[in-house]
Amino acid sequence: MSTHTRFGASRLLAVFGVVATAMMRVVAPAQAEPAAGDPAPNPYPDLRYFAEIDSAPYNLGPLPSPDRPFGKFDPGVWFVTTQGLSCGIWYRGSFGCTGDVIPGASADVHQIGWVTGDARVHYDWTMAVRFPGSRGSLTIPPLNYITMEGTSCGTTFDGSTYCERGPFRMLITTTHTWLNG
């Protein structure tokens, strides 16, 4: 091999080494956490992947009527959760849960939900005043949901409880509660 060829090959290898080193420094390490400013992942399940089951076994009374909008024992569909909460869907698709402990809420909060006319899902003293007496005794099996008056509630694979009516949603897990609406 001539001196000229060896010099050209050495130069080519040197250039290749510099380019490869520069490229390796440009690649950023992978991160598991979203970058600052990125939206948090959506915690809500997609009910399209759940099976809708008959709500008749959960129905406790006739369908709501305008003359009984907030009676103490309004009819509706009622169920219990794996967290020990009693939940339901009642008058015009209102929904919520009641119990001794709402995960992630302060100790004085015992109801969470959305009542027809509310601007959002919430837990505060107004829910306690407007929450009907709940009478649920059946659980919704995992990956199933029931629907009444445009509102759906279901149980996720891990036993969390999810309810939605259009943009109004709540997800109750064993440790936290997410509200949207």
What would the pLDDT profile of 29-86 be if each residue is shown by its tens digit? 333 455 666 677 789 999 999 999 999 999 987 544 555 555 445 679 999 998 899 9
Residue type, 48: R
Say if 69 falls within a structural domain: yes
H-helix or E-strand spanning residue 126: helix 125-130
Distances (CA, A) of 172 to 36, 125, 141: 26, 19, 15
Phi, psi of 142 (to 5 degrees): -55, 145
pTM of the model: 0.72
Question: What is the arithmetic mean of pLDDT over 21-28?
Answer: 44
Question: What is the arithmetic mean of pLDDT over 128-152?
Answer: 91
Say if 164 falls within a structural domain: yes
Q: Is 6 helix (H, G, I), strand (E, B) or coil?
A: helix
Percent of the chain with pLDDT over 90: 52
Say if 17 falls within a structural domain: no
Say if 9 falls within a structural domain: no
Say if 25 falls within a structural domain: no
| Domain extent for 75 | 47-180
Q: Is 45 helix (H, G, I), strand (E, B) or coil?
A: coil
Domains contained in the chain, number: 1
